[in-house]
Amino acid sequence: MSTASPSDAPRLLAFAGSLRSGSYNRRLIPVLAEGARAAGARITQIELRDYPLPIYDGDIEAEGLPENARRLQALMAEHDGLLISTPEYNGSMPALVKNTLDWISRPIGDGRSGTSLFADKVAGIVSASPGPLGGLRSLLVLRDALAKLGLIVVPQQVAVGQAGEKLLDYGQLGDERAREAVHRVGAAVVRHLQVYNPSAAGARA
């Protein structure tokens, strides 16, 4: 376990790509956060239901970026990376995740592209699904989308299948092997930050 003090620990923003109250991915995201925290990171876990946004529309943007988009941009600016647990909808990531990323990537207050908020930051991704593949196809799409925004996505990833049998409550993954694998994804984010962006934590202190 890392001995980094809270003041110099990397900061990671964590969320699940689902709004459903019983979502398996909302149950899984605390497990991913736990792995990163054990490796020395500080975690800010949010619920996207607290940041409702319309489907991206250039006309809405022209009238002024929605306040929740600004709030999410500010959060992204304050953190060194992302932890995301995503469902799989029809072989891809859900519209909620894509829409959230689209709004954050819009120009920020000083005129810079919102993609600058993602540059050189590190992401770890996992998924959960009732099916045997565990949402694996959604991870392939999400990985590509995050990389296009400039994020470094760690090669480790986990798709938890038969989630209804394994994720019985929030932060409780009954499959020991799967839990350890999810923890390793979180730890890998911290390790990659130390390599690719070693000054990030100090800049946030």
pLDDT of residue 202: 46
pLDDT of residue 5: 42
Give every residue of the chain whose pLDDT is below 50, as ranges.
1-5, 201-205
3-state secondary structure 186-201: HHHHHHHHHHHCCCHH
pLDDT of residue 7: 60
What are the Cα distances from residue 51, in Å, to 83, 112, 157?
17, 22, 26
pLDDT of residue 8: 78
pLDDT of residue 198: 65
- Say what the pTM is: 0.92
pLDDT of residue 200: 58
